[in-house]
Amino acid sequence: MVHARKAVTPQGILQYSMAPSSSFAGLILAAGKGTRMKSDLPKGLHEVAGVPMVQLVCQAVKGAGVERPIVVVGYRGDLVRETLGSCNDYAEQVEQLGTGHAALMAADLLKGHEGPVLVTPGDTPLLSSTTLRALFETYEREGAKATMATFVTVEPKGYGRIVRDEEGYVAAIVEEKDATSEQRQILEVNPAVYVFDCQTLLEILPTLGNTNAQGEYYLTDAIAEVRRRGGKVVATVFDDPDEFMGVNDRWQLAEAARIMRMRIVREHAMNGVTIVDPTSTYIGFDVEIEADATIQPMTVIEGNTRIARGASIGPNTWIKDSKVGQGCSVFMSHVDQAEMEEGSRCGPFSNLRPGTKLGRKVKVGNFVEIKNSQIGEGTAASHLAYIGDSTVGHDTNIGAGVITCNYDGFDKHRTQIGDHSFVGSNSTIIAPRTIGSGAMVAAGSVVNQDVPEDALAIGRARQENKEGWAAAWRKRH
């Protein structure tokens, strides 16, 4: 039996499993405001597939074996710290004077560190642990003082260009704003992902100048300086430019999110899930989906959600933090913090709110809202109902338009409905109220007394027929 229940981690497919080693340090530069984002939020906190970009970078760095990355924060640094939590160390860059200056701000935290330090920007959300790990490995294998990644792109705009010498070694990185028109033609660019010998970097950082087009201290200049000092620099050309995509504006954010979404969706497809239209399917990192489930177009599945085999989800569906059992169907519906057991169905236009538990083979139809309620096996609420704070037994029928009045303006009250009972259409049940098993409630009743087992409750005005009255009325008009 194929049993492909698998969550996609942020680094998804490429997650590298490796015991974290204290001999690897990591530095993530995330102090910039991200002016081009035109946002009050620091750039690193903008989300890709529901996770802040800088958090994705932290996870990739940790996955590469760095136990406690150091994050350099600046613009709204408190918010960045609060979001990322205490599993990282932090350095503060009060004024954003450039990437070289940002790295220098971590000097105190790094000064005791012998060995390599990985340096990455906080705005490359698609980075994988595998790539970072490869840079560490090259560093160690080659006895380098610095290793770095490069990639070749037909759209080099905005990236530092890689200038190589006659022997093919990296001589310098030239920022676009400082590049000659000839250098701008270079298609090999700098993703700003480096591994340095930590002590060499710490010697170089205070010596960097800022006589360049932006008046900034560039970390990129450290590479040329390592070479000038006779250190070996190894640049590896990686062939997946997506991974190094730097996000500087909202359009690039949308593009990065699209690529990440495709990675996640593809992983589920490879695990045996039918994804009818990947471009309109949004699945969060922590969602687990078993094989042979089908995800229809225009569907968002978020949070800690589990979808069992054979389930059909969508189209036009939003599910968050929920469990959907084997063979269930969720059709054009909204499901939030709810559980559906095997074979149950909802939709179109059902609203399953927090605390809803549908037993096996429950049927919930259009415009039915359920909140904080347990519904027993085989029970149906097929049309236009509100069931709140209720326990409903098995094989019971809830008619169209049934309302549990659970709120008196101050407190919430529970409704109990037994097994094999029948609540007629448009009945109003004023909680707290119990309707026994096997009982029936006549359509249109206002139920303000408990109903014993197997009884019929009729709580409505008695109908009177006046013979000939309508005809007489018409005659008078």
x/- contact string, 236-275, with ligand UD1 (CB under 6 A)?
Answer: ----------x-x---------------------------
Rg from Cα positions in the chain: 31
- Cβ atoms of 149 and 246 within 8 Å: the answer is no
Task: Pick what 441 binds: Ca ion, ligand UD1, none; C-beta below 5 to 8 Å, kind-dependent.
Answer: none
Task: Pick what 30 binds: Ca ion, ligand UD1, none; C-beta below 5 to 8 Å, kind-dependent.
Answer: ligand UD1
Measured from the CB atom, is 246 or 327 closer to Ca ion?
A: 246
Work out whether 246 is an interface residue with Ca ion (CB under 5 A): yes
CA distances to 131, 156, 161, 191, 232 from 180, rounded to whole Å, are 30, 14, 10, 20, 26
For residue 63 the two structure tokens come to 């996955």
Stretch that binds Ca ion, among 117-125, 195-203, 302-310, 322-330 (CB under 5 A): 117-125
Strands 440-441 and 422-423: parallel
Task: Pick what 190 binds: Ca ion, ligand UD1, none; C-beta below 5 to 8 Å, kind-dependent.
Answer: ligand UD1
Dihedral sign (CA 13, 14, 20, 26) = negative
Q: Which of residues 64-103 bind Ca ion (CB under 5 A)?
A: none
Any idea what DSSP says for residue 93? -
Q: Backbone dihedral region of 31: left (phi > 0), alpha (psi from -120 to 50 degrees) or beta? A: alpha
Which residue has its beta carbon closest to Ca ion?
A: 246
Q: Which of residues 185-214 bind ligand UD1 (CB under 6 A)?
A: 189-192
- Among 11, 55, 99, 317, the residue binding ligand UD1 under the rule CB under 6 A is 99
Stretch that binds ligand UD1, among 93-101, 235-243, 281-289, 412-420 (CB under 6 A): 93-101
Task: Pick what 102 binds: ligand UD1, Ca ion, none; C-beta below 5 to 8 Å, kind-dependent.
Answer: ligand UD1
Longest CA span, the chain: 112
Work out whether 63 is an interface residue with ligand UD1 (CB under 6 A): no
- Cβ atoms of 66 and 25 within 8 Å: the answer is yes
Q: Is 475 helix (H, G, I), strand (E, B) or coil?
A: helix
Which residue has its beta carbon closest to ligand UD1?
A: 160
Catalytic residue among 383, 394, 413, 420: 383
- Helix (H) / strand (E) containing 415: strand 415-417
Measured from the CB atom, is 220 or 271 closer to ligand UD1?
A: 220
For residue 278 the two structure tokens come to 């990947």
Instruction: Give the integer Cα–Cα distance in Å for 279 and 181.
Output: 38
Stretch that binds ligand UD1, among 119-127, 134-142, 314-322, 368-376 (CB under 6 A): 119-127
- Among 123, 267, 302, 341, the residue binding ligand UD1 under the rule CB under 6 A is 123
Strands 25-30 and 70-73: parallel
CB crowding 67-84: b at 16 or more within 10 Å, else e:
bbbbbbbbbbbeebeeeb
- Among 63, 69, 98, 314, the residue binding ligand UD1 under the rule CB under 6 A is 98
- Cβ atoms of 392 and 409 within 8 Å: the answer is no
Task: Pick what 122 binds: Ca ion, ligand UD1, none; C-beta below 5 to 8 Å, kind-dependent.
Answer: ligand UD1
Stretch that binds Ca ion, among 68-76, 123-131, 182-190, 220-228 (CB under 5 A): 123-131
Give min distance, CB of 34 to Ca ion, in A.
8
Give the interface size with ligand UD1 as a residue count (CB under 6 A): 30
Work out whether 308 is an interface residue with ligand UD1 (CB under 6 A): no
- Helix (H) / strand (E) containing 4: none
- Helix (H) / strand (E) containing 92: strand 89-92
Work out whether 55 is an interface residue with ligand UD1 (CB under 6 A): no
Instruction: Give the integer Cα–Cα distance in Å for 237 and 235.
Output: 7
Binding residues (CB under 6 A) for ligand UD1: these are: 29-32, 43, 72, 74, 93, 96-99, 101-102, 121-123, 159-160, 173, 175, 189-192, 218-220, 246, 248
List the catalytic residues: 383
Binding residues (CB under 5 A) for Ca ion: these are: 123, 246, 248
